[in-house]
Structure 1
Amino acid sequence: MRKILQLYSSLLMMLTILFLLPACEKEDNETLISRNGQNESHQEGDNCMQCHTSGGKGEGWFIAAGTVYTSNLQATLPNGEILFFTGPNGSGTLVKIIEVDQLGNFFTTEDIDFSAGLYTAAKGSETTIYMDTPITSGQCNSCHGQSTEKINTH
């Protein structure tokens, strides 16, 4: 009887380990949204979605993310906003507002429909700068700071 209990105990332990192993991967999408004043983000200027995606190393699967800089491009700009519109220059419907954190980063795991293209704006404490062309992806730092100018305002 003792051998049977040891066998069941070993089997139960192995099954527990098998069920817990997948939990070590970053497959859970948690809700993460940047807020003014927060300072827990990192990697300013990098393409956030390299890690913050299904199967990636980062927590949460970002739908839109990037970094905002001051107009001279020398420092990040904290506590602004990124605005998403259906029309150019702030026209059409305001679809989403994402606050920029204390480190200049913005991100959200909330759903945004980019299928029809959205026009964005970076709003600082003094000005709002509008992007001329619509975007169909929220991977802002995959272009800005790489092949196009960094997102900036003041």
Structure 2
Amino acid sequence: MKFSLVLLVIPVILFVNTACDDKNTKCTESNISANFENESHNNGQNCVSCHKSGGEGKGCFNVCGSVYTSATSSSSLANVTVKFYTQPNGQGTLKYTVKGDAKGNFFTTEDMAVAGLYPAISGPTGTKYMGSALTSGSCNSCHGNSTDKLWAD
């Protein structure tokens, strides 16, 4: 009787454990933007509303956003470079670099601690700097909502 019960319980434990692992390992999936790629979507939306633990998106984004040709434009700016510095205006130490894709989106699941850093977005003809330090890597949670869209030249 004990042996039969053990044989019945083991598959249940394995099923429950696998189901929990599927949810918890979602954030171990890699998803990183690169210049000229075009698989991203939902420009201007808060990427982290889906790309988070338990979310529908592939991987959990640590840094993400959308870049446009101006603060009021709906035209995205392709293949930007986003850099994160320890001081404003591209000063201090460069800590991280993220490449944007062909649709104007940039994102990464790489482990990046960007709170307190200063971003710089470079387009084909210039660089724009954020004057205040970041509190989050979810750029579209503010930009395009409570503040101007991210943009570069």
TM-score (norm 1): 0.85
**Which aligned pairs between 1:1-150 and structure 2 lie closer than 5 A?**
14-25=12-23, 27-29=25-27, 30-71=29-70, 73-115=73-115, 117-150=116-149
Q: Deviations over 1:12-69 (max 9, x none)?
A: 6545533433355364221221100111111110111111111222111111100000
Which protein shows a greater Rg?
1
Q: Deviations over 1:74-119 (max 9, x none)?
A: 301111111111111110011111000011100111122234x111
Q: Deviations over 1:93-149 (max 9, x none)?
A: 11111000011100111122234x111111001111111111121010011000111
Question: How much does 1:151 deviate?
Answer: 0.3
May I ask how many residue pairs the two structures share in their alignment? 151
Does the CA-based 8 Å contact 1:84-1:96 persist in structure 2? yes
Percent identity reads 43
Distance 1:85 1:8 in 2: 57
In the TM superposition, structure 1's runs of 4+ consecutive aligned residues that sit over 4 Å from their partners are 6-16
Structure 1: any 5+ residue segments left out of the alignment? 1-5
Decide whether aligned partners of structure 1 residues 25 and 121 sit closer, same or farther in structure 2, where only a CA change above 3 A counts.
Answer: same
